Chains A and B, each alone.
Chain A
Amino acid sequence: MPAAPAATTPLVPYGQGRVRGLGPAELGIHGDQMDRLVALGLPTVPGITVPVQSARDLTDPAVARQVVDLMEELVGRRVGDTGHPMLLRLVASAPVAASGLPPQVPGIGLTPTNAASLIDLIGREGDLYEVWASVLRLVAEDALGVSPDALEDALEGVTSAPAQVEALLAVCAAEGTGPVPEDPAEQLALSAAALMHRWDSPRGRRARRSQRLPDDLGLALHVQALHIGPWERSGIGTASSRDPDSGALAPTGTFHRGMRRSALPTDASGEPLDTLPGGTDLLKHTLATLEHHLRDVAEVTFELRDGKLSLLSAAALDRSSPRAGLRLAVDLATAGTIDRRAALRTVRPQVVQELLHAQLRLTGDEKLLAKGLPASPGAARGLVVLSSQRALELAAGDVPTVLFSSETTPGDVPALLAADAVVTTSGGLASHAAVVARGSGTPAVCGASDLRIDTVRGTVSAGGHTVHEGDVVTVDGRSGAIYVGEVDIRPAEPPAELDTLLAWADDVRVLRVRTNADTVRETEAALRLGAEGIGLCRTEHQFLGDRLPVVRRYLLAQDDAAHREALDALTDAQCEDFTALLRAVGDRPVTVRLLDAPLHEFLPHDGAYEDQSQLDRAVEMREVNPMLGLRGVRLALLNDDLYPAQAEALFSAWVTVSKEGITPALEVMIPLVSLPEELAIAIGQVHEAADKVEEQTGVRVPYLVGSMIETPRAALLADQLAVHADFLSFGTNDLTQMTYGFSRDDVESRLLTGYVERGLLAASPFVEFDLDGVGALVAIAVQKARSVKPDIKLGVCGEHGGDATSILRLAPLGLDYVSCSPQRVPVARLAAAHAALEEST
């Protein structure tokens, strides 16, 4: 039913909406979008919008006649003309983004009279008839009132498209309210009626309801001109502006050749874009223009008609790949479209982590065990474990593991987090294990259904190979491959554009970023990723491995001579380690934490002692609650030669490297302080060591000495600690444990996951820094320490130093630096920049 007199119906050609003051409310999303594309000078399909408020007028053949006339004038072709043929397509769009819109009506203007000559031009019969049949079906059912059953009966056994068209024309004439007209304007009016009927149907209403859209939401109708040309040079495609893997500006998508497609198929068929007739240059240029306009990765649908490209839609790509988003941000800032701060803002720190996944260095000689779905990127190798419990046990000893499981349940989460890689035999990309693994950045392969896991015999077999629990395998979460044995893993290298972005981040951020590194290898990796020094070097590492026997000799020595001999050996060994480490650090700052771990951890667990007195000594050292027992500075007070020996080793190493022209800025750190007096005594020990080294070498080693803040008492007495200390470093892991009274190992798996599920906690406080509680302690400590020494250096060396959310919470507390594991350094650099940007706004 036409709503208004035909003379008043506005017809808005694409590109003329804005000048008439019309936006999406009148033109619909599509009309508004096409307006912008025309304004950008991009190739678009010629079209006319009948605005929302008068769209129903198009069901009036007189209005449809005006549209056809205007279109013929705009394009210079006549609808259905066989020499320069053009057909029309009717498309609907709503004023807001909506799904469930009526389908497009392609091929308006086809008649039994002109079909043959159009087919000659297209070069294929089926294409045109398939389009025609789809139009007729819609018109028959939604405009001419032919019942679905009558349609179905008419088409029963009719398989060829031309025969279907014939049958449909016949059923419309027989069962419909009228025959299908030949006049293009009358066809257009009927098509408009069909689309409106669809939109008014229960199906249309349901779609609006499910999206909470108003039931009376209107539609704009758009009439587009279709140039008809040879099918080989025609088709429809979709392209996004960036290659998702490399992030490079390169049209990426698919193309469906032929005339019959009126909407993009949802399946995976189609040709790659490099087969596009006429090449991709225009497409690339178009996408590049759009990126600068949208300031986002662009996605277009386009059609090719007789080799001519025109855009059908364009928008920012929903969920672009991390690499594409990063590279775009850098490209836009380099081109001056956005400033560097805006570029920094668009990249989430978590994305940086995703870009730094390790990759395998494959030689082709690998033994493939099985392949599954690439569920979480990255590469890792480790010992095969078949139970969560075993994974946790090994992880506690820092042994890398690959957890194999048929499927996982929430109870396996701690093991999934502890394992270096996860393999499941069932479950897809959305399986529980995959979701958890991606969330934690653990490489994972899921649905490796060829694998046979035998938990009784402790084996995993597939592809003629069998590995046992405890054997080494390598997992590639990007390809889904699982290899027998060790495959070389290339550490993550930041792509060039990430280096660029992080350099901009460095210009903006105030917080410095250091690394937690115990070895030369870790130090080098962290420096490559932009660490400005070491914020935590744990000396425990130097007591393990082949040093363990010496440490045990020291701990179990029966007399002073043996004790002294063992200590000297230990000092020499540590000096070697420190020398190598300091060479790697160069002139940067390095914070060396003196021994923190409980001594009994270095003793054999199996009771293999030489004699009864050794055993007695070991029993004597056993503790009920080692976490709160004889650790850190407390050891230094009980064994007063331990810290001096460590400090002596460090200072001697400094003397050695300084002769090579390397002068690291030493910071000696005393752990687990709770009494200012403890700190004073330990600092005295360090000073004595420096004096001794000066006596021996004639070199006065420059160093700072400071305290860790891990106990609430230390935080509350930070002013008294600051009297003695040159710097303070918050060990937020221990500080969190002691503030909550949580033993991390005991609560994390059993309690915290439940707390998070029940909403008591937003996240584990060991993962995301607790601003309310622990943050209050840090704030007090910062304020008190600075009240005594305004320029005292303050840092964080817990795992929070590498967590983006935590950094945003820590930065406003007034710290100088964070220190995190090497691979988190880039995340911390970007997060620190975000913190600075946030503070400046």
Chain B
Amino acid sequence: MTNSAGAAELDDVTREALVGLVIRGMHRGALSPEQQALVDQGLAMAKGPMVMPTPAGTAAAQAVTRLAAGGDEEKSLRPLFEKFLPVNHQLRDLCTAWQLRPDGTPNDHSDAAYDASVRDRLDDIDDAIGRILRRMSEVTPRLSHYRDHLSASLERFDDGDAGMLTSPLADSYHTVWMWLHQELLLMLGISRAEDEKLEAELVAGQKV
């Protein structure tokens, strides 16, 4: 019998492994001892070369990550999250621009000027997320690693690893960004649907 009890009983390392797994959605490759423990407890499942959280694991991770409703941390983080969403929208647009030209044809990356203009726009986004992360980290220090993580992806991209902007199979800028987004949602207890609605409102509000 597996014991899928709450994450409260997990030791710190295993709990971090669980939260990490839920934020990333899945892990590909060999299992760490902590991940094995998660599997043993029914909080994660191994499928072929992949480990994914079970619904119980996701719920447990949500429970430990969620900030106290109405608490100071939530109150401070929430407005920063609302600054994050319009930038999040810009990043999605930028990733689309990297993949598709404005006329909808695939970007075959033969036009260096076009690619450079997209890359140049990314600097504004990177500056903006840098400012937001600086403030977020003051409130929630565990988010501070994202700044370095994003910079590392960008550096590898600029060094010629073209997949490091949007590839879903690598720790690309977009992938790391999605982790950040997911972690914020978990901490603030916001569903994906609420998130999309909120983003649409905030983006529309900017354009008035």
Binding site for B on A (CB under 8 A): 97-100, 148-149, 152, 203, 206-207, 210-212, 266-267, 269, 319, 428-430, 435
CA distance A207 to B112 in the complex (A): 10
Contact A148 B127 (CB under 8 A): yes
CA distance A266 to B120 in the complex (A): 13
Closest 7 CB pairs of A and B: A99-B117, A100-B120, A99-B116, A430-B106, A211-B112, A99-B113, A429-B104
Residues of A near B104 (CB, < 8 A) are 429-430
CA distance A98 to B106 in the complex (A): 21
Choose one: A99, A319, A430; the contact of B99 (CB below 8 Å).
A430
- Known contacts A98-B116, A266-B97, A429-B100, then 20 further A-B pairs from the complex at CB < 8 Å, ordered by chain A residue: A98-B113, A99-B115, A100-B116, A100-B120, A148-B127, A152-B135, A207-B116, A207-B119, A210-B116, A210-B119, A210-B158, A211-B113, A211-B116, A212-B112, A267-B207, A269-B207, A428-B100, A429-B106, A430-B104, A430-B105
Output the least CB separation between B134 and chain A (Å).
7
Task: Give the total number of A-B pairs whose CB atoms are below 8 A apart.
Answer: 56
Contact B119 A148 (CB under 8 A): no
Q: Verify if B131 is at the interface (C-beta below 8 Å from A).
A: yes
Contact A97 B103 (CB under 8 A): no
Given contacts A152-B134, A206-B158, A207-B119, contact A430 B100 (CB under 8 A): yes
CA distance A207 to B114 in the complex (A): 11
Q: Verify if B123 is at the interface (C-beta below 8 Å from A).
A: yes
Contact B116 A435 (CB under 8 A): no
Output the least CB separation between A1 and chain B (Å).
25
Contact B101 A319 (CB under 8 A): yes
CA distance A149 to B130 in the complex (A): 10
Choose one: A97, A203, A212, A319; the contact of B120 (CB below 8 Å).
A203
Output the least CB separation between B161 and chain A (Å).
13
Contact A266 B93 (CB under 8 A): yes
Residues of B near A429 (CB, < 8 A) are 100, 104-106
A/B interface sample: 29 pairs, CB < 8 A: A97-B113, A99-B113, A99-B114, A100-B116, A100-B117, A148-B127, A152-B134, A203-B120, A206-B158, A207-B116, A207-B120, A210-B112, A210-B115, A210-B158, A211-B116, A212-B112, A266-B97, A267-B93, A319-B103, A319-B105, A428-B100, A429-B100, A429-B105, A429-B106, A430-B99, A430-B104, A430-B105, A430-B106, A430-B107
Residues of A near B106 (CB, < 8 A) are 429-430, 435
Output the least CB separation between B154 and chain A (Å).
10
CA distance A26 to B114 in the complex (A): 24
- A320 closest partner in B (C-beta): B103
Residues of B near A430 (CB, < 8 A) are 99-100, 104-107
* Count of B interface residues, CB-CB < 8 Å: 26
Contact A203 B123 (CB under 8 A): yes
Residues of B near A152 (CB, < 8 A) are 131, 134-135
Residues of A near B131 (CB, < 8 A) are 148, 152
CA distance A269 to B203 in the complex (A): 11
Residues of B near A267 (CB, < 8 A) are 93, 207
Residues of B near A148 (CB, < 8 A) are 127, 131
Residues of B near A97 (CB, < 8 A) are 113
CA distance A428 to B103 in the complex (A): 13
Residues of A near B127 (CB, < 8 A) are 148
Contact B119 A100 (CB under 8 A): yes
Residues of A near B134 (CB, < 8 A) are 149, 152
CA distance A149 to B207 in the complex (A): 26
Output the least CB separation between B75 and chain A (Å).
14
- A432 closest partner in B (C-beta): B106
CA distance A429 to B99 in the complex (A): 10
CA distance A266 to B99 in the complex (A): 16
Output the least CB separation between B13 and chain A (Å).
34
CA distance A435 to B135 in the complex (A): 43
- A151 closest partner in B (C-beta): B131
Given contacts A148-B127, A269-B207, A319-B101, contact A99 B120 (CB under 8 A): yes
- A97 closest partner in B (C-beta): B113
- A319 closest partner in B (C-beta): B103
CA distance A467 to B106 in the complex (A): 32
- Using a CB-CB cutoff of 8 Å, which residues 120-153 of chain B contact chain A? 120-121, 123, 127, 131, 134-135
Residues of A near B100 (CB, < 8 A) are 428-430
CA distance A319 to B106 in the complex (A): 13
- A375 closest partner in B (C-beta): B104
- A201 closest partner in B (C-beta): B123
Best-surrounded residue of A98, A211, A319 (most CB of chain B within 10 A): A211
Residues of B near A269 (CB, < 8 A) are 207
Residues of B near A212 (CB, < 8 A) are 112
CA distance A373 to B121 in the complex (A): 27
Output the least CB separation between B162 and chain A (Å).
11
CA distance A56 to B12 in the complex (A): 58
Residues of A near B97 (CB, < 8 A) are 266
- B101 closest partner in A (C-beta): A319
Residues of A near B99 (CB, < 8 A) are 430
Task: Provide the B23-59 mask, 1 if CB < 8 A to any CB of A, else 0.
Answer: 0000000000000000000000000000000000000
CA distance A404 to B159 in the complex (A): 41
Residues of A near B93 (CB, < 8 A) are 266-267
Output the least CB separation between B94 and chain A (Å).
9
- B132 closest partner in A (C-beta): A152
Residues of A near B121 (CB, < 8 A) are 266
CA distance A706 to B105 in the complex (A): 47
Residues of B near A319 (CB, < 8 A) are 101, 103, 105
- Using a CB-CB cutoff of 8 Å, which residues 147-172 of chain B contact chain A? 158
Residues of A near B117 (CB, < 8 A) are 99-100
CA distance A217 to B116 in the complex (A): 15
Residues of A near B207 (CB, < 8 A) are 267, 269
Residues of A near B116 (CB, < 8 A) are 98-100, 207, 210-211
Output the least CB separation between A430 and chain B (Å).
4
Output the least CB separation between B157 and chain A (Å).
10
Residues of B near A428 (CB, < 8 A) are 100
- A321 closest partner in B (C-beta): B103
Residues of B near A203 (CB, < 8 A) are 120, 123
Output the least CB separation between A152 and chain B (Å).
5
CA distance A100 to B117 in the complex (A): 5
Output the least CB separation between B103 and chain A (Å).
6
Residues of B near A206 (CB, < 8 A) are 119, 158
Residues of B near A149 (CB, < 8 A) are 134
